[in-house]
């Protein structure tokens, strides 16, 4: 495993890179960097991670760039919805599901097919990439995170 830090507009984005899997820490600086400029920041992050992955493991990370980007945005938007509609979702998502979903949003795990059983989902959501970018860019950071 390799720990890397990428910086966007002075904001640190922490990433762990392991064989077939990338884990992005979904903290306030990461959210702030992405919602400020979703397209530019996420594309640059994916390029950097994939370059570092190749240097580390001597092979390409087998995730299409578009799918990688959509997965990052999907996790961020899901996290936003969980926080924004917390009261209603805590009632709807019973038996600890709300807390489990929130916990799973703390780190964005992006993996190759053999490591990420949801890879097919992110691949299929690529056509909605522009819509997700627009939604993310319209989010005010203060509504994105719990105080």
In angstroms, the first-to-last Cα distance of the chain is 32
pLDDT level of residue 144 (50, 70, 90 thresholds): low
Q: Are 20 and 114 in contact (CB under 8 A)?
A: yes
- Per-residue pLDDT of 60-98, as tens digits, reads 999 999 999 999 998 888 888 888 888 898 888 888 888
> Which of 77, 69, 50, 42 has the alpha carbon at shortest distance from 123?
69
What tens digit of pLDDT does each residue of 49-59 get? Answer: 999 999 999 99
How much is the pLDDT for 86?
87
So what's the pLDDT on residue 143? 61
**Alpha-carbon distance 105 to 58, whole Å?**
29
pLDDT at 145: 55
Q: How confident is the model at residue 147 (pLDDT cuts 50, 70, 90)?
A: very low
- pLDDT tens profile 17-53: 999 999 999 999 999 898 888 899 999 999 999 999 9
Q: How confident is the model at residue 142 (pLDDT cuts 50, 70, 90)?
A: low
Domain ranges in the chain are 2-78+106-137
* pLDDT score recorded for residue 90: 86
């Amino acid at each position: 495993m390799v720990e890397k830090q990428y910086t966007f507009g002075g904001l640190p984005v922490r990433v762990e890179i392991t064989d077939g899997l990338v884990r992005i820490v979904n903290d306030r600086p990461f959210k702030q960097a992405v919602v400020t400029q979703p397209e530019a920041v996420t594309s640059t992050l994916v390029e950097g991670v994939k370059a570092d992955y190749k240097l580390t493991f001597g092979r390409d990370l087998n995730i299409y760039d578009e799918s990688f980007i959509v997965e990052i945005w999907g996790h961020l938007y899901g996290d936003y919805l969980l926080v924004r509609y917390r009261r209603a979702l805590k009632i709807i998502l019973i038996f600890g599901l709300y807390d489990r979903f929130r916990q799973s949003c703390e780190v964005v795990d992006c993996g190759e097919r053999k490591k990420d059983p949801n890879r097919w989902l992110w691949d299929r959501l690529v056509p909605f990439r522009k819509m997700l970018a627009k939604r993310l860019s319209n989010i005010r950071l203060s509504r994105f995170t719990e105080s």
